[in-house]
Structure 1
Amino acid sequence: MKTEKISPSLIMKTLDFAYEKALNGVAGLDSAQEMADNYIAKGGTKVEMVNSLIRWQNTKACTSGFLTGLPGIIVMPVTIPANIASVLYVQVRMIAAIAYIGGHDIKDDKVKSLVYACVAGNGAKDILKDIGIVVGQKIATTTVRNISAKTITAINQKVGFRLLTKFGEKGAVNLGKAIPLIGGIIGGSFDLIATNTIGNIARNTFIGQE
């Protein structure tokens, strides 16, 4: 299957597909909720649970071959490079797990949109600031409920353009930077600082500092 020129709409289609897989799971991998439940079962505060999840992700970042075990993601109904599709999947699953630990309904389109914003990393600050959400401060469930369909569309559009800038129109992306992975690396290079950045953004957005 040929890959077509990457566009914001194509990125959003990929995110939607990845999100569905993150919620329902793929062969051999826990769903976002199952992964979250593993940490909830260990006990502690929500922040401690998420910090443990992020630390585990950092530790496992040097385990090779993780993405090669993602046939359900690599074979996608959208024409986007498999490496980008797989990366988006593991990002989305991690952030959705954090949102779930924070008590948010990850089946809610409003929460899904906020998960997408976190995928943008530091770009999430600008995306959410425009709708009155401050990254680094816990978002209340009442605030989530009040997010309108129009706002969801606006967030998704901004995320699409932000990720397009990251990946480039031809799908060229330095996968050693700004891409968090769970259990594996791409191309033998991985930036642990970027992993912490995105994990912390998701934690602070969905849980706060307790």
Structure 2
Amino acid sequence: MSIKGSVGRHLAPRISDIAPGLTTTFVRESLNRAIDGVGPLPPAAAAADKQLKEQRGHVERAVHEVIENHVRLAGAQGFLTNVGGLVTAAVAIPANIAGLTLLQCRMIAGIAHLRGHDLDDPRVRNAILMTLLGEDTVTAMVRQSKLPAPPMALATAPAHDAHLDGIIAAVVATDLLTRVAGKRLATSVGRRVPIVGGMVGMGADGYATWRVGRYADRELLPRNNRP
């Protein structure tokens, strides 16, 4: 497939040069951990089901609670990973992006689960990663034929296209690198005053997570297997 070849040849070297940890393998591992649970974070489906129980079976209220909870988590990690001075930026910013990726994948997976999608389905996993890019990026890439279709169409495709696994992971990895570069520039001033840097990080990460959550809410529509 021409898209796969182009993405693989041109983006993979940049991934390893700019931020060695943010590879396509990292993207897939982040998604796996988000779905399966890691450290104090329970699996995405279990967390979503807890919200569904608290909302007495009301799916849409549970979806909104999942979004709000992850916005708060993202804001907290944004503060902690941006509160250091300039000397810590080289380590803290990639760590911040890694943490944010995990939380946003977990949030999207929780929404997908509540809407009746099977998180073990590779089509759904690709849809989750694509949603992570955000609506504007997805729309532009689909229009330019860099991605085949929006997330919902991928999640409900007749069959899994294994070629898309590498394409989507590479696109997401490159997007993460762009975020790293952008944060290094945007926080360079704020990090001269540590608390200011933390507050900027908290607001930016919380807002970014809210936008991704709202996109997932609109895009990942209910499947028939959930009442």
* TM score, norm. by length of structure 2: 0.63
State the partner residue of 1:10.
Answer: 22
Two-structure CA RMSD over aligned residues (Å): 3.4
Which of 183, 196, 199 is 1:188 aligned to?
199
Q: Which runs of 4+ in 1 moved over 6 A?
A: 64-68
State the partner residue of 2:59.
Answer: 46
Equivalent runs, 1:1-210 vs 2, <5 Å? 5-6=17-18, 10-41=22-53, 42-58=55-71, 63=76, 81-121=94-134, 122-128=136-142, 130=145, 131=147, 133-134=149-150, 138-139=152-153, 142-143=156-157, 145-168=158-181, 172=184, 174=186, 187-189=198-200, 190-191=203-204, 192-207=206-221
Give the secondary structure class of the aligned counterpart of 1:105.
coil
Unpaired segments of 5 or more residues in structure 1? 69-79, 176-185
Listed one character per residue, the Cα deviations across residues 17-55 of structure 1 (whole Å, up to 9, x for unaligned) are 212221221232221111111122123543332122223
Q: Relative to structure 1, is the Cα distance of residues 132 and 54 closer, same or farther in structure 2, using a 3 angstrom cutoff? A: same
Q: Relative to structure 1, is the Cα distance of residues 153 and 126 closer, same or farther in structure 2, using a 3 angstrom cutoff? A: farther
Q: Relative to structure 1, is the Cα distance of residues 27 and 153 closer, same or farther in structure 2, using a 3 angstrom cutoff? A: closer
**Number of matched residues?**
180
Q: Which has the higher helix share?
A: 2
Give the secondary structure class of the aligned counterpart of 2:40.
coil
State the partner residue of 2:4.
Answer: none
Q: Any conservation in 2 of the 1:46–1:207 contact (CA below 8 Å)?
A: no
* TM score, norm. by length of structure 1: 0.68
Q: Relative to structure 1, is the Cα distance of residues 127 and 105 closer, same or farther in structure 2, using a 3 angstrom cutoff? A: farther
| Amino acid paired to 1:202 | A
Shift of 1:108: 2.1
Q: Any conservation in 2 of the 1:32–1:94 contact (CA below 8 Å)?
A: yes
Unpaired segments of 5 or more residues in structure 2? 1-15, 82-92, 188-196, 223-227
Q: Any conservation in 2 of the 1:139–1:206 contact (CA below 8 Å)?
A: no
Give the secondary structure class of the aligned counterpart of 2:25.
helix
| Amino acid paired to 2:112 | A
| Amino acid paired to 1:187 | G
| Amino acid paired to 1:200 | R
| Amino acid paired to 2:199 | G
Q: Relative to structure 1, is the Cα distance of residues 106 and 127 closer, same or farther in structure 2, using a 3 angstrom cutoff? A: farther
Shift of 1:161: 2.5
| Amino acid paired to 1:49 | A
